[in-house]
Amino acid sequence: MTGIAFAFFLFIGVPVFAVLILSTVVYILLTGETALFDNFLIQLYGGLGNMGLLAIPLFIITGELMNECGITSRLVALSRVFVGSVRSGLAFVNILANAFMAAIIGSAIAQTAVMTRVMVPEMVREGYPRADAAAMTCAGGLLGPVIPPSMPFIIYAVLSQVPVADMLIAGLVPGLLLAGAFIVMAAVIGFQKQYPKSDAVNRREALKVVLNSLPALIVPASIIGTILAGFGSPTEAVASASVAAILVGGFVYRELDFRLIPEILERAGRNSAMVLVIVAASAVFGWVIIYDQIPMKLADFMTGLTENRYLFLFLVVAALIILGMLIDGIAALIISVPILLPIAQDTYGIDAVQFGVVVVLTLVLGLLTPPVGAALYVSSSISKAPPVALFRSVFPYIAVTLVILMVLCLFPSISTALL
């Protein structure tokens, strides 16, 4: 009955945080376990007690600051220098620039919106089909939640009690692997459709672009370098990156209007609140799930299907693809982790870090698949590419992502290589 209530609330458009809370209340009332109400607010408040969650508003602030500093155009120019004059060169630039932006923004939807405005008009002018240009940008947006810093990885770390730094570091190699796979796919499609060659950049101009882009790289480098070198926690790394963004944007590029900082902070506060209220509600929902022994019951069911850890991971991927197609990725993450992680660890001996990388990347695919497909619709709206044509063009990149997912399931060392 609780599951029916959950589905009903989602269907009628109740906000996700309210769905989680109302479903929990329905469970308590139906089971008669009214004593659980005594700890209800404690669990709700406790969901925000992990200091790792402080990184979420901080990197949202950093992303907002960087978007005001003209960083995107500089990263695109830097990517052009790296690519040179080759067929499908602008497609490679798109994916490389998305990889750079992923180390700053950490959100697929925000990244897709920014990069669609920048890249699609330029690619269309050079002769790329509009749907193909938007599809590459959507695919590149998937790198945002994988390459650190990553909001979904931070939330997963809090839910699973894994160190936030471990999860962020674990996303680096899979993220670069995924970017490489997208470049290969763009090259194959470009050869088939005879995409145009990009213009060559002369040596003097290339040197000028590289020097002009170096200050922009300080922000992502400070985040990743601080975490990898162990100089500070992810929260401290992102806090220092916010300061670096202000210094670079305000005093090096002189494109940051300091009068806009209150507006930036207000916008970041609203975006942070939308995420954190779901995290708080999920603490109550997860508490009831464990109280009702749902993970244990599901573990018995799963072991009845298979005792093979790899087949279990494939089943999880299939289930989460369907879940990600129906509800928001962060909500799906918060709902699924408390149920699936205990089974993965206790029954199948799967490393929590590897499992987190697989789960997050699988749910991120939901951003490109109808009926939710938030990134797909954002890109379609901005680029004016019809959703059906855009989905048809983005499907090869979805297939490549599924291949990478299978590789990550079979080879856990890819996720844990830097730990």
The predicted pLDDT at position 393 comes to 92
Question: Does position 411 have pLDDT exceeding 80, yes or no?
Answer: yes
**What is the Cα–Cα distance from 308 to 347, expressed in whole angstroms?**
10
> Which of 260-264, 292-296, 322-326 is the most confident on average?
260-264
pLDDT band at 217 (very low <50, low <70, confident <90, very high): confident
The answer to whether 216 and 222 are in contact (CB under 8 A) is no
**What is the Cα–Cα distance from 234 to 138, expressed in whole angstroms?**
27
pLDDT band at 105 (very low <50, low <70, confident <90, very high): low
305-309 long-range contacts (CB < 8 A, ≥24 apart) are 309/348, 309/349, 309/350
**What is the Cα–Cα distance from 318 to 297, expressed in whole angstroms?**
20
Give per-residue pLDDT as tens, 229-250: 777 777 787 788 888 888 888 8
Place of tokens 């945080």: 17
Give per-residue pLDDT as tens, 176-214: 999 999 999 998 998 888 888 777 677 888 888 888 888
Tokens linked to 339: 């149920």
Amino acid identity, residue 114? V
Average pLDDT, the chain: 82
The predicted pLDDT at position 378 comes to 80
The predicted pLDDT at position 203 comes to 80
Q: Tally the C-alpha atoms within 13 A of residue 415's C-alpha that lie toward its C-beta.
A: 25
Interior angle at CA 286, CA 283 and CA 288, nearest 5: 110
Residue of 277, 56, 76, 216 lying closest to 145 (CA atoms): 56
Residue of 399, 405, 176 lying closest to 313 (CA atoms): 405
pTM of the model: 0.80
How is 140-176 classified by DSSP, letter by letter? HHTTTTTSSS-HHHHHHHHHHT--HHHHHHHTHHHHH
**What is the Cα–Cα distance from 274 to 271, expressed in whole angstroms?**
5
Question: Does position 371 have pLDDT exceeding 80, yes or no?
Answer: no
Mean pLDDT of 341-359: 91
**What is the Cα–Cα distance from 213 to 381, expressed in whole angstroms?**
30
Count, residues in the chain: 419
The answer to whether 317 and 360 are in contact (CB under 8 A) is no
Which comes out higher in pLDDT, residue 90 or 105? Answer: 90
pLDDT band at 400 (very low <50, low <70, confident <90, very high): very high
